[in-house]
Amino acid sequence: MDASGGLPVGAEGRTIVGLPATELAARVRAGELSAVDVVRAHLAHLDEVEARVGAFRVVRRQAALAEAAAVDAAPDRGSLPLAGVPIAVKDNVDVAGEACTDGSPACPSRTAAQDHPVVARLRAAGAVVVGLTRAPELCLYASTDGPGTVSRNPWDTARSPAGSSGGSAAAVASGAVPLAHGNDGLGSLRLPAAACGLVTLKPGRGVVPAGIGADDWSGMAENGALATTVADLALAHAVMAGEEPAPPVAPDRPLRVAVSTRSPLPGIRADGPARAAVDAVVGLLTAAGHTVVRRDPPVSPGAAAGAVARWMAGAANDAEHLGIDLADLQPRSRTHARIGRAVRAAGLVRPATADRFRQRMTAFFADVDLLLSPVTTGPPLPARPWHERSFLANVTANARWAPWTAAWNLAGLPALVLPAGTRPEGHPLAVQFAGPPGAETRLLWVAGELERRQPWRRYAPVFDPTAPPVPAPA
């Protein structure tokens, strides 16, 4: 037994950790595994990897084991979609009995009395919350770090798992949990998925309960999940959306997919490997009988400015919502929030900007089903204490690395990121698909087809819990 009372990963635990969430839940429902053994095995693996990746702010050992025991004893265990599945929750939504900090050490301590609606839905489906994952302060940045801690990418610990759902992505990519909650205001699910070789879906507006911070960054932020398989992602999405879990329905005809590699930001472009990943996916789509056309979406400078205005105002709104004095924020966040106050005072967060942009982007899909694009311009940012650097250094690094995600937040349209190979140095490569309102099922279906045609490695190699144990030296 390990220190948490769990099965050692090298013994029975190795047959549990690394199983997809769908399989774990099926085996718990059937009584082949107990939820307690599943959670113990994952806590043991978490103990092995956490010191190297820094994914968690809080690990709920005893609470998680008690919740698992309750799942085992539940009369309806046989019908729970996520029976006994260990999950992690990003530290910016409420988990009953825990303090939510939104990634800020300056956040006043407050114990949540009840779960956020998406957490409540996950728990009602049988999932067990094993911990709260790290996020950058106020979830503002594309790296995950703070005073005394730098979260690291399991694929290369010298690199960041991105942000702001970086702790959740590191937890899944290292095998500590098979599923994790996160959310996405400018790419905060999709960028960690791209950096850590995972699959994720940012739902369209109103599909999954938001309720993130003061006002969801003026309506841009959505809750979602990070997973290693499309089936796991589809299951978690259905649970959070309050839908009956079911495999995505195939379209009744081949898809017509637009492809664009042009960056929305002038002077920034995807590097060779990122463009090659898009080309490889184009080849898979064409081989499957789908039609591919080259077409750039109508992302205007005014729309980009509208997204940035909401990002800035979001820092000020959330700090006030949480009762944080701006003087107590990290220097980069303090500047961010002060600019946000000025943006808000000037009336630059205009609903009409988002409404017009949503109409324009929806019209783009009048004769195409989906859009394929890169996600990032190059490998993940270095893992370093970015919170010690200036606001300008953070914003510049973020914008140069990830220009393709923000438009879909402003438009409130769904977008999905999935693995599409590895870079020459071994980092994951990813692509993004986006679609019109209501395209979540279509996105999940096409992701599943691509996963079937070109399976990806589910875990970072060094942390892979499914790999055979290394023999001890003779």
Q: Which residues are catalytic?
A: 90, 164, 188
Helices (runs of H) and strands (runs of E) counted in the chain: 15, 13
Contact in structure between 151 and 145 (CB atoms under 8 Å) = yes
The amino acid at 200: T
Q: What is the DSSP string of 116-131?
A: -HHHHHHHHTT-EEEE
What token pair was written down for 401?
Answer: 């690395």
Beta-carbon contacts of residue 391 (< 8 Å; ≥ 6 apart): 331, 332, 333, 335, 336
Burial 317-326 (b: 16+ CB within 10 A, else e): bbbeebebeb
Query: H or E segment at 331?
Result: helix 331-345
Contact in structure between 127 and 74 (CB atoms under 8 Å) = no
Chain-centre distance of CA 187, in angstroms?
8
Looking from the CA of 51 toward its CB, the CA atoms found within 13 Å total 3
What token pair was written down for 362?
Answer: 């929806």
Residue 437 burial class via C-beta count within 10 angstroms: exposed 0-12, middle 13-18, buried 19 and up = middle
Distance CA 166, CA 187 (A): 11
The amino acid at 272: G
Contact in structure between 277 and 374 (CB atoms under 8 Å) = yes
Distance CA 26, CA 123 (A): 16
